[in-house]
Amino acid sequence: MSADSHTKSKALADRATAVIPGGVNSGTRRNGAPYAFESAAGAYITDFDGNRYLDYHAAFGAILLGHRHAVIEDAMAAAADTLDLSGYGVSEAEVKLAELIVEVLPSVEQTVILNSGSEAVAYAIRLARASTDRKYLVKFQGGFHGWSESVARNVISPKERAYGDDPVTAGILPDSWQSTLIAEFNDLESVKTLFEQYPEQIAAVIVEPIPHNVGALVPTKEFIEGLRTLTTEQGALLIFDEVITGFRHALGGYQQICAVTPDLTTFGKAMGNGYPVAGLGGKRELMQNFDAAGGKVALMGTFNGNATSCAAGIATITYLKDNPDFYTRTHALGERWRSGLRGILSELEITAEVVGFGGTFSTYFIDHRASGFKDLLENDVQAAIQFHRRMIDRGVLMLPLPLKRNHISGSHTAEDIDMSLNAAQDALQSMIDDDIVSRG
């Protein structure tokens, strides 16, 4: 797409910079064209100039069934006609959503309904520390758990700061992020070493079962089961951050797939199919530590459990319960993309790894299989960005940042995948022609 095809969108983006810092309300949204969106439906999203894109970004995976899915929109409209916000007591929608979550997530005996994944993680950490009376938290290099103080460190770190001191933002007191220790994903020994260095001081290990914030690092059976055994032995909690994996890969989250039961689980994003709803759930004895149940951990939030967000969550989970073939279909489409792109890369003799799980996929421009973040330090960042940028130019929306995953929704079709593969072949060939990647 040419620059003049984004004229109206660019004008709106420029107008935004006068009243919004940088013109966007989240830093990763500022990535050049397309600059502004006007409408969306199904698998497609349309910018302010009328350019239509097949959407694999899917708002970082929040879109699970497809944009403006009729089931969700009808539920939202019905909820808005009944109740807006009471901020007092409880509503039937809150109870029904909590009952559904307890029913479908294997580890959850009680849950609280929140608004974002970052909030859910912040409460999980606070609950873990209060329940164990311990200070330290273990996370994995490359894992992202939201913007709260304790975990805002060591995500997509440059080589010189990986595994060391690498807060993701200024403005956090060192005491906050330095109480979080860094291990390597799929390396159980690195976790054991931290428990040896900080005996009886680690409150919890928090992990994305699949670290989708750096693409798709799939855990080995020994690693994910080993975390459960190790934390139990050490008197620490195991927290699964299923904000991305939850409801996307299976109705019961990745914990259903790997048959490992964490102590606490955070979830969100896809749960509301584009509407702000999230939660934290876990063992009853832990959840009873919230103040409303007589515990010592304060739970606060005016918009927690609001009517419309709960309606979106209820409708999404109920749809998934009633349509179990959703997972069969999106997983098959994910494999159609992954196998198709591998074939194109082989034909063009480009060195890259196509990875993913279920309906997600990513491309690493490396020459070996990745099991942990250390393997991703050799990723060709410019090639990764250019691949997504050139896909956008061909009408396929992929976030033009390195290591970012893509998502297949319930509205994507086999024809969409095939069209995308044709675009990918053209984009990759153009990268060869422009000496961004080489053959062989």
Q: What distance in Å separates the CA atoms of residue 95 and residue 105, rounded to the nearest whole number?
A: 16
AA letter at 109 = E
Q: Report the percent of the chain where pLDDT is more than 90.
A: 93
Report the 10 Å Cβ neighbour count for 90: 11
Summarize pLDDT for 11-28 with one digit per residue, the tens.
Answer: 999 999 999 999 999 988
Summarize pLDDT for 387-420 with one digit per residue, the tens.
Answer: 999 999 999 999 999 999 999 999 999 999 999 9
Summarize pLDDT for 198-249 with one digit per residue, the tens.
Answer: 999 999 999 999 999 999 999 999 999 999 999 999 999 999 999 999 999 9
Strands (E), 91-219: 110-114, 136-140, 180-183, 202-207
Alpha-carbon distances of 77 from 38, 70, 432, rounded to whole Å: 20, 10, 50
> Do the bridges between strand 136-140 and strand 202-207 make them parallel or antiparallel, or are there none, so unpaired?
parallel
Output the pLDDT for position 80. Answer: 86
Summarize pLDDT for 34-52 with one digit per residue, the tens.
Answer: 999 999 999 999 999 999 9
Summarize pLDDT for 241-287 with one digit per residue, the tens.
Answer: 999 999 999 999 999 999 999 999 999 999 999 999 999 999 999 99
Tell me the Ramachandran region of residue 151: left when phi exceeds 0, alpha when psi lies from -120 to 50, beta otherwise: alpha
Using 50, 70 and 90 to split pLDDT, how confident is the model at 1?
Answer: low
Q: What distance in Å separates the CA atoms of residue 360 and residue 415, rounded to the nearest whole number?
A: 17
Comparing C-alpha atoms, which of 74, 59, 73, 65 is closest to residue 25? 59
Summarize pLDDT for 160-197 with one digit per residue, the tens.
Answer: 999 999 999 999 999 888 999 999 999 999 999 999 99
Comparing C-alpha atoms, which of 312, 280, 313, 311 is closest to residue 297? 280
3-class state of residue 44 by DSSP: strand
3-class state of residue 228 by DSSP: helix
Alpha-carbon distances of 249 from 84, 143, 212, 324, 407, rounded to whole Å: 31, 18, 12, 11, 11
Using 50, 70 and 90 to split pLDDT, how confident is the model at 2?
Answer: low
Using 50, 70 and 90 to split pLDDT, how confident is the model at 3?
Answer: low
Q: Report the percent of the chain where pLDDT is more than 70.
A: 99
Contacts of 377-385 spanning 24+ positions with Cβ under 8 A: 377/159, 377/162, 379/403, 380/437, 382/436, 383/352, 383/431, 383/436, 383/437
CB 333 within 8 A of CB 326: no
Mean pLDDT for 292-310 is 95
For residue 99, pLDDT over 80 is answered with yes
Task: Tell me what the pLDDT averaged over the chain comes to.
Answer: 96
The DSSP symbol for 87 reads -
Encoded tokens for 53: 């894109």
Q: What distance in Å separates the CA atoms of residue 354 and residue 346, rounded to the nearest whole number?
A: 11
Output the pLDDT for position 84. Answer: 87
CB 117 within 8 A of CB 271: no
Tell me how far apart the terminal alpha carbons of the chain are, to the nearest angstrom.
29
Ordered domains of the chain (ranges, CATH): 3-68+324-433 (3.90.1150.10), 70-322 (3.40.640.10)
Mean pLDDT for 298-316 is 96
Mean pLDDT for 75-85 is 89
pTM exceeding 0.85? yes
